[in-house]
Amino acid sequence: MLNNGFNIILCDTEADILIASECQPNDVVVTSDSDLLVYMSVPVVWRPVGRRKREFLVYERAAVLDVFNLMTESLVALAIVSRNDYNPRTPSDVVRVMVDRYLALPEVVRKKKKDEPNKWTADTFANAFKVFVLMQQDPVPTSMVLPREDLESTSVPTFEYLQSATAEFRIQLDRSKQDEYEARKLSRDQSGVKVQRHKSRQKFNRYRTIDSPPKAEVGDRSDAPLPRNRIPPHRPRYSVTHRIQSKPHEPPEVMMRYKWKPYKTAPTNPLCADIDPVQSKTKPKGKVKSPKMPKEITLETRKSDLVRAMGWEHPLVTLDVGTVSANLSRALGQDSDLIFEVNTCIKEIVRVAASIKRLGQSIIGRFIERVLASDPPTPEDREILGYLCQSVSTRIKAESASSSSDSNRPTATSADDEDEDDDEDEQTNDDPRRQKSEQLQFYLMLLSHLYSNNPVNDKSAIGKRVQKFVFRAAELGLLLRNDNRVAIRQRTAYPANTLLRSVAGQLVTETKKMYRNGSVELEEKLTNMKAKGLVSVGAHTQIDETIPAIENFWRLNKSSKSYRRMAPLTGMEQPFVSFSELDLIEFLWRKEKIKSHLQDLVLQDYHNQDFDPSLADLKEYLDQRPPGHLIARLLSNVGRDEVRKGPRGYKDSTCLMALDDLRRHIQTIRAPGFDPQTPPTYRIPLSATSVKTPRYVLRGSLKTDGFRLQLLAFKLSELNSVKYRRFPHDVLPNRLTSTVGGVDYFLTEVRNIVKTPQDVAALWGCAPDQIKILGLDLGQACVLGASALLPEKPPLEKIEKGPIAFHNLAVKQKAVYQPGFKHRRWMQEQKNVDPGTGAMSINDIETGLPPLRGENACFTDYIQRRELVKGQLDMFYNGDNRFKRHKWDARRAKEAEYRLITDRLLKLVGGSIGTRRDDSNKVVIGIGLGKFSSKIRLSSLHESFQSYFVQKVIKAFARW
């Protein structure tokens, strides 16, 4: 046995204890001894029977307890008095009490008197209690243990016999599992209940809501009212109601009635593409520079310039492709060691970047609180506050007012901070792009100092600003001052600038939204409060452009008594961090196993196999490959040119575009005679008969929180030149019948387009009564209220003219929120779990933290208290992926609700998700664009559903 690889363990006690301790929940113990069935760690015992011991009797512990109507403690006590094993997790005092009660039974007492007076006392079971309850046993004397050579010579079963018996046991186990599956399937088929799924091939989701099965009706079905003894028929969720009579409604309050307001200056031609409902509105003063046109595309254009040019021509979208581990398994196959290394590296860089971001936020928040405590701050402190966030100028106020007055009008934004052009000659000092770039460099250098603890490089202007902030924070006792330039610079685990660029950009966005935009919002609120006489005399009600935005926010927040949070702060759950392919190779190159895999990846395309590629060789290799090449080869199979295997998803609609194809694609769009109404398509031949027409092209960047993976891609079916109207007005597609300009360009008021029946005929080529109209009213209590007006049937199909049919659908917020409610309840239960080691539960810890907002809120106290419990909170939220999996399941279940609602609406007008609209099916969908605010704890779902619905409708109904 030893020579054939068996591991034989010689126990100095009985082997039952060792077997029970090693048994896992899904294991099966094969033994002729039934003592092991008492242990809670042993769920199933297989007892060999028969002449050759090739058949088994199955004993399930839970089934035994049910049959004999016993509790666990009763079984343990029975095992002790019957000289059997016991459950080690049962309290010993409970078992001892049960044994004492057994000895006090009249039958036992009479038996003792009849046989021996001293028989069956507590001492009789002392040894058994010690072994079965306390798990203690005297070891076997050494003289009784056989030597190794005697053990080998002892007549034991041969290796061939045990090998064949093990094979028979495995076959029997597989056969038993198959029989159980067939029995469950047969039982489900006989019941007649059809399994209802939201979509095909969907795995189990603990939070999805499934329709109850149809109930059997009693009696005959007729048009008469249902009697009391008949069960009403099953009505699927989100089903449309059909009525043949109009339902009168009470008119709303006067203040709620809609009053049509005509244009001050009516448009001359409703079919022109340049019609904009904000034409008559006052535009902000001052010259606003448009984004700089990218460079001309030539044969010498680099890969980075091509990616920037694609971002100019096509919008950037985020593709949620699933979990990191699942994508690694699909990309790397069966190499489990490499999958583990890459997965561990990604989780580590996300954890480090998030921790440094929280550290920077805590220092900045405490600095702001300490500096603003002395009102007004010193000029030096005001200068440092200006470094943290740009001031609020008149131009920024005008832009904020313009964007708030027309939230549906698209605005040009940059995709990533690192993609901005750093040409100093083209940017002025008051240009927001330059200020944002300088602010990004400030936060990046500050976070790099906190990560590496190396002295700040003060040779640049940004470095001097960071050094001034660090020295002032050190004076306030917020961090340690390190200006020893002679000491050797510490080497970090990962490059600081590469690791922290994404979180630095997040800090820029968070500070701008909180302080700059928040100051504008508070000023508008104070203006309304002042008009109502709710502002005290001497309070600050207007923005002072001579002081930093942070000080403005602090003053206005205090005057309005809004008590907003004083500084941005990331929660303990890991946020999403974005990285490019060049960033990833900087991290992965430092892992030896991944490094060797990357070197093999480079050597595959080189004839010389005798050299070891360096990091520079890998960067040069990627510079000659399509964007997203490393992601498709190492992290995910999305983008590969291969025939689909498995469920349909982004793999079918995403591709990698070669550098030459990128050049031709961009040059085609920028050609003088390009028609924007028909965007160029990109086709990839997969085989002689199949062709792939992708809708997305990978950019070469990703976002991840260590658990989920999101890929950034360009959307080929939309053009930014149409969205931002860079083409002449006579060639732009109609904004109502085309989706080339995107969703924001697609949604517009119908009165801007259609005014007369001739306009309908020009757009759709039919009469108005032949168009299906679906009206949607989005709200809070009811997420959706829909009503469809369907055209009458043609005369040949009509038998007689019947009453008008109404088709309505009302979706309540409570129904859509069911997955979220289930997840909240589960999360609250987990937070209330008592660790049992004297530590507080997560709910007690979070409720015991000082408030972050309010009249007496203190940011410093909150940070100091959270530092004491940071380890426990981090272990709860990020110790494993259990909570992230539950959160992701709840999110997918909510999307399943949206999918079901959308499918009901599309079927109402002759369509469905995943099916293209027929040319003869004319449909107009109207969506109410009214804005409202929510004051309850449940966030309104109308905006998220509108975004989901419009995207699905574009895929199903839109035509280029």
Asked if 507 contacts 443 with a C-beta cutoff of 8 angstroms, the reply is: yes
Q: Is 50 exposed, middle or buried (0-12, 13-18, 19+ CB in 10 A)?
A: exposed
Residue 628 pLDDT grade (very low, low, confident, very high; cuts 50, 70, 90): very high
CA–CA separation, 459 and 452 (whole Å)? 18
Q: What is the pLDDT of residue 410?
A: 33
pLDDT at 354 over 90: yes
Question: Rounded mean pLDDT of 830-850?
Answer: 87
Tokens read off for 672 = 């003088």
More confident residue, 925 or 797: 925
Residue 281 pLDDT grade (very low, low, confident, very high; cuts 50, 70, 90): very low
Q: What is the pLDDT of residues 410-422, one digit of tens each?
A: 333 333 333 333 3
Tokens read off for 396 = 């920024």
Strands 923-927 and 772-778: parallel
Asked if 290 contacts 762 with a C-beta cutoff of 8 angstroms, the reply is: no
Question: Rounded mean pLDDT of 518-534?
Answer: 91
Q: What is the pLDDT of residues 112-165, one digit of tens each?
A: 555 555 555 555 566 655 555 555 566 655 444 445 454 444 455 565 666 676
Q: What is the pLDDT of residue 147?
A: 52
Q: What is the pLDDT of residue 732?
A: 84
CA–CA separation, 112 and 867 (whole Å)? 65
> Residues of the chain with pLDDT > 90: what percent?
27
Asked if 859 contacts 850 with a C-beta cutoff of 8 angstroms, the reply is: no
Looking up tokens 């939230």 gives: 407
Q: Which of 559, 568, 566 has the alpha carbon at shortest distance from 523? A: 559
Q: What is the pLDDT of residue 551?
A: 93
Q: What is the pLDDT of residue 793?
A: 58
Q: What is the pLDDT of residue 277?
A: 41
CA–CA separation, 470 and 483 (whole Å)? 10
Residue 266 pLDDT grade (very low, low, confident, very high; cuts 50, 70, 90): low
CA 542 from chain center: how many Å?
A: 40
Mean pLDDT of the chain: 76
The segment with the largest mean pLDDT, out of 19-23, 580-584, 786-790, 956-960, is 580-584
Asked if 719 contacts 740 with a C-beta cutoff of 8 angstroms, the reply is: yes
pLDDT at 456 over 80: yes
Angle between helices 581-588 and 592-603 (to 10 degrees): 130
Asked if 12 contacts 143 with a C-beta cutoff of 8 angstroms, the reply is: no
Q: What is the pLDDT of residue 32?
A: 77
Looking up tokens 């698209």 gives: 410
Q: What is the pLDDT of residues 590-627, one digit of tens each?
A: 999 999 999 888 888 776 667 788 899 899 999 999 99
CA distances from 776 to 760, 809, 833, 926, 946 (A): 21, 9, 44, 6, 10
CA 175 from chain center: how many Å?
A: 39
Asked if 697 contacts 315 with a C-beta cutoff of 8 angstroms, the reply is: no
Tokens read off for 83 = 């000289």
User: How many Cβ atoms sit within 10 Å of the Cβ of residue 875?
Assistant: 12
Tokens read off for 479 = 């961090």
Show Cβ contacts of residue 754 under 8 Å, excluding neighbours closer than 6 positions: 270, 736, 760, 763
Q: What is the pLDDT of residue 764?
A: 81
Question: Rounded mean pLDDT of 508-523?
Answer: 92
CA–CA separation, 86 and 72 (whole Å)? 9
Asked if 519 contacts 553 with a C-beta cutoff of 8 angstroms, the reply is: yes
Tokens read off for 489 = 């610079």
pTM of the predicted structure, to 2 decimals: 0.71
Tokens read off for 364 = 């900045």
Asked if 408 contacts 747 with a C-beta cutoff of 8 angstroms, the reply is: yes
Q: Which of 949, 897, 644 has the alpha carbon at shortest distance from 776? A: 949
CA 621 from chain center: how many Å?
A: 32
Please measure the distance between the N-terminal and C-terminal CA atoms of the chain and give it in whole angstroms: 73
